[in-house]
Structure 1
Amino acid sequence: MVAAAILASAPATAALSADGGVAQPARPFQFTVIGHPFRATSDENLLRRSITEANQDKPAFIVATGIKAQTEACSDRLYAQRRDILDGSPRPLVLLPAGSDWAGCRNSAGRSNAIERLNRVREVFYPDNQSLGVRRITLTRLSANVKFRSYAENAYWEQGGVLFATLNIPDNNNHYLPEAGRNSEYEDRLVANRAWLHRLFLMAQRRNMEGLVLFTDGDIKAHVDEGFSLLSGFSAKQDGYAAVRKQVRAFAEKYQGKVLLVDSQGEPKATPAITWRGNLGRLGVGGEWETVRVQPGTASLFSLKDADSP
C-alpha cells in the first residue's frame, strides 16, 4: 500500500512557548483515507478488509467515504448494517457520505427521495459530536450552528497544528439538477458549504495553522487550470462544482499554509499522486486506502513517500 508523506512547511517565525522559549513543532503523525469501496462493487467484505488493514498502520484517525453502492437499496436496515461495520474500527473513524448513499435513492413509486434519505443518513451516522470507532475523537459539526442544523456530516477536528474537515460534495456533479425548480437541496447545501469553508479558512489563518485538509466525495478540480470546465461544452452555471471551486481557490490564495483536497475519485489502478497548483494540492483515492504521514514544522512540503524513496 502506498503511504503518502505529508510534510507541512515550517512557519517563517518559530512560535514561543508559555515560558518564552521556542516551542517545539508538533510531533509527526499519520492518518488513513479509505476511498469509496462501493464504487465498483456491493461486496461489503472490501470495506471490512480496508478497515482492518488501515488500522494496522496505527493512524491517529481514519476517514472513510461512502456506505453503499449505487445499485444497493437505500434502506434503514442497510444503513444500520454498514454503521456497525464502521463503528467496529479500533481507531477513530470519520465518515464522509458519498453521492451513492442518498442522491440516487427512490421510493416505491419511483420518485426521488434523496433529501429524505440524506436526512436519514445524518440521523444514523451523525447523532452526536463523536466520531465512529471503538476509540473516538470529538468533532465540531456545522449542525452546532442553528442556521445549519441539518448539516451534521460537515465536521472538523485538529491534529498537530493541522485542521481537518469534511464537506458534503457528492461526485454526481454536486447533485446539481438541470431541470428548473429542482435544485433546492443543491442550493441550500451550497450556502451551508460556503459558510463552512469561510469558517475553516478563517480559523486556520487566525491560528496560524500549517495546513488545512478538506475531504470530499467529488473532485472539485480546484487544482487545475482556470479554463477547466467539469462538463465540457456546458456553461459554468451548469457545473455543480463551479461555485465551491472558485471559493476554495480564493481562500487558498490568501492562506499562508498548505491546502490539501482529498477526494474518492482516484483511478483504481493509478499510482497515487498529489497534484499541485500553488499551495493547493489534490489527492484522489480510489476504492482502496492510503496512509498519509504528517510532519509538522519541517522545511519540506507535501511529498509522496514512494516518489522520494531511492
Structure 2
Amino acid sequence: MFTVNLRFGRFLRSTVIGALLALPVLAPAETWRVALIGDTPYSAFERAELPKMLEAIADSGSELMIHVGDIKHGKDRCDDTLFADRRALFDASRIPFVFVPGDNEWSDCERLSNGGYAPLERLGALRRLFWAQPESLGRQRLPLQRQSAAYPEHARFRVGPVLFATLNIPGGNNNWGLLETPSREFSERNPQVLAWVRATFQVARQEKLAGVAFAMQANPGFKHFAQGFPHSGYRELLELLRMETQNFSGQVLVIHGDTHQSRVDHPLRDAAGKPLANFTRIETHGYPFMGWTQLLIRLDGPSLFHSEAHPWPPRERP
C-alpha cells in the first residue's frame, strides 16, 4: 500500500488498476479531513496568496486537497506558460493535490481574450500535463484510478468509508454549445461521465461503503432541475444522480464551484419535489472571495459529511 504520510497511509485506501483495497478497520469516532478549493487563482493577488493558503491547509491537518477547477480568470489567456505555472504551484502542495478541470482552462479558451485556442487542443494539453500519471499532484502523491487513457481527468480514490470520483463537467452548460442539438464533444464525453458515475455507485454498493462523493466544476442548476426546467447539458447527470441517490443506502456528496458562492445545502429533490435527505452539495469559495472549505468525514453521528468554511486571508479574531 502506497503511503503518503503516517496518518494518511493508515486511513486512506485508493483504487488501483481496477480493484479497491479492503476497507480498513475504523475507530467509531475517527475523522478524515479533505480540503476543498476552486475558482482560484483569478488575480495577481490570489496567485500571490494561494501558496500561503496551501501551506495553511497542510498545517490544518487536512490529508488531501481537491481543486474543482477554473485555475484562472475567464478573461485570461490559456497559454502553456500559465498551465505550467499552475502545475508547479499545485505540485508544491505538501499534501496530495487532486485537480478537476474547469471551463476557464479549456471549453472557454476559444475566446479571443483567451488566445483563440481550440478547446479540445487545450484539454489535450491539460491531460498531458496534469493527468498523465495514475497519481495525484503534490509533494506527496496519492494513487488514483483513471477511467481510461482517453478520459484521464476522471479519477477515483477512497478516503476511509467514502469513495471519491472526479468528473469533467465544465460550467457554461457542460460545453453543450449554442444550438438545440449538443456539440460533438459533449456527445462523446457525457456518456463517459455518466458511465463513471454509475460505476462509482456500483463499487460503493459492492464494498458497502458509507458514502460517495463527486468533485466537478459546474453548478448543474439544481434549482432549475427541481422546477422542471433543467439545463440541457446537465439534465442527464442530475436525473442519474437522483436515481442513484434514491437507491443508495449511504450518503452522497457533490462538490463543485462555478457560481462562486460558498455554501452547503441539500438541493437535489425527488420527482415529487421533496429534498433527498442523503444528498449534500458543497460549493467552494470563488473569486473575489478567496478561501477554502474543510470537509470532515465522520462515522459517529447522523451525518457522514460535515464542513467548515475558512475565508482567506484569515479574519483576525477580536
1:295 partnered with 2:298: yes
Seen in structure 2, the aligned counterparts of structure 1 residues 187 and 168 have a Cα distance that, compared at 3 Å, is same
Q: Distance in 2 between matches of 1:228 and 1:95?
A: 32
Among 35, 51, 54, the residue aligned to 2:54: 51
Q: Distance in 2 between matches of 1:223 and 1:302?
A: 22
Q: Which residue of 2 aligns with 1:172?
A: 172
Query: What is the identity, as a one-letter code, of the residue corresponding to 1:63?
Result: I
Q: Pick 1 or 2: higher relative contact order, CA cutoff 8 A, min separation 6.
A: 1
Seen in structure 2, the aligned counterparts of structure 1 residues 242 and 53 have a Cα distance that, compared at 3 Å, is same
Query: What is the identity, as a one-letter code, of the residue corresponding to 1:280?
Result: F
Q: Which residue of 1 aligns with 2:245?
A: 252
- Structure 1 unaligned residues grouped into runs of 5+: 1-17, 144-148, 232-238
Q: Distance in 1 between matches of 2:74 and 2:259?
A: 18
Shift of 1:193: 0.3
8 A contact 1:140–1:156 mirrored in 2: yes
- Structure 2 unaligned residues grouped into runs of 5+: 1-21, 268-274, 310-318
Query: What is the identity, as a one-letter code, of the residue corresponding to 1:274?
Result: D
Q: Which residue of 1 aligns with 2:264?
A: 273
Task: After superposition, give the CA deviation of every residue in 1:35-65 in whole Å (9 maximum; x if it has no partner).
Answer: 2114577842243233222222121100013
Shift of 1:69: 1.8
Shift of 1:300: 3.9
Task: Give the SS at the match of 2:226.
Answer: coil
Task: Give the SS at the match of 2:110.
Answer: coil
Query: What is the identity, as a one-letter code, of the residue corresponding to 1:184?
Result: R
Q: Which residue of 2 aligns with 1:94?
A: 98
User: What do you get for the CA RMSD once the two structures are aligned?
Assistant: 2.8
Q: Distance in 2 between matches of 1:194 and 1:218?
A: 15
Query: What is the identity, as a one-letter code, of the residue corresponding to 1:259?
Result: V
More displaced 10-residue stretch of structure 1: 288-297 or 87-96: 288-297
Shift of 1:74: 1.2
What percentage of aligned pairs have identical amino acids? 26
Q: Distance in 1 between matches of 2:303 and 2:46?
A: 40
Shift of 1:229: 2.7
Q: Distance in 1 between matches of 2:101 and 2:45?
A: 16
Q: Distance in 2 between matches of 1:97 and 1:23?
A: 32
Seen in structure 2, the aligned counterparts of structure 1 residues 211 and 281 have a Cα distance that, compared at 3 Å, is same
Q: Distance in 1 between matches of 2:308 and 2:50?
A: 25
Q: Distance in 1 between matches of 2:53 and 2:223?
A: 28
Shift of 1:221: 3.8
Query: What is the identity, as a one-letter code, of the residue corresponding to 1:123?
Result: R
Q: Which residue of 1 aligns with 2:86?
A: 82
Q: Distance in 2 between matches of 1:32 and 1:225?
A: 28
Number of matched residues? 272
5 Å-filtered alignment, 1:125-274, equals 125-143=130-148, 149-179=149-179, 183-222=183-222, 226-230=226-230, 239-265=232-258, 267-268=260-261, 272-274=263-265
Task: Give the SS at the match of 1:273.
Answer: strand
Please report the TM-score for the alignment, with normalisation by the length of structure 2. 0.77
Seen in structure 2, the aligned counterparts of structure 1 residues 112 and 179 have a Cα distance that, compared at 3 Å, is farther
